[in-house]
Homo-oligomer: A and B are copies of this chain.
Amino acid sequence: MLTIGKLGQATGTKVPTIRYYEQVGLLPRPERSSGNQRLYGRAAQGRLAFIRHARELGFPLDAIRELLSLQDRPDQPCAAADLIARRQLAAVEARLARLRSLKGELERMVAQCAHGTVADCRVIETLADHGLCEGAHEVAPAATGGVALS
């Protein structure tokens, strides 16, 4: 049986984060010691590792909730899990495409900076006048799902 601190160390999770996962229903309420402290067994450790790994892959908590409930019913077809993963992959790909174009524009901006005064700084100028950039980022896609991805 692990205390919350040990569990945190074992899974690379901060203590308040574990309590947060419990609060939002991703982790079940654990047993308590005589002094009311949380005690975790192997099952909880596995579940938390699962959550952390999925988070590292950028899955939002809602998707993780679904994946966990799938894991609990092993005889169901895994099409649902597959779909969730594919959706996440699509989100990551969209994000990548956008970031690549941003990187291009930022590189052009800093490359053109002549290190003079602000008055003729290309960085400021480019920001002020969208026409100066090559329109690489036309309209923000927005609403990609609110995934953090650090």
Contact = CB atoms under 8 A, between A and B. Distances in A.
Residue among A82, A103, A123 facing the most chain B CB atoms (10 A cut-off)? A123
A113 B128 CA distance: 48
Contact of A77 (B96, B117, B137): B117
- Determine how many copies of this chain the complex contains: 2
Interface string A99-123: 1101101110110010111110101
Contacts of A57: 102, 105-106, 127, 137
Given A118-B75, A121-B81, A95 B149 contact: yes
B149 A113 contact: no
A141 B56 CA distance: 10
B106 A88 contact: yes
Interface string A51-65: 001111110000000
A32 interface: no
B107 A77 contact: no
B53 A121 contact: no
Contact of A75 (B12, B79, B119, B130): B119
Given A110-B86, A149-B102, A150-B95, A115 B78 contact: yes
A54 to B, nearest CB: 5
Interface in A16-68: 46, 49-50, 53-58, 67
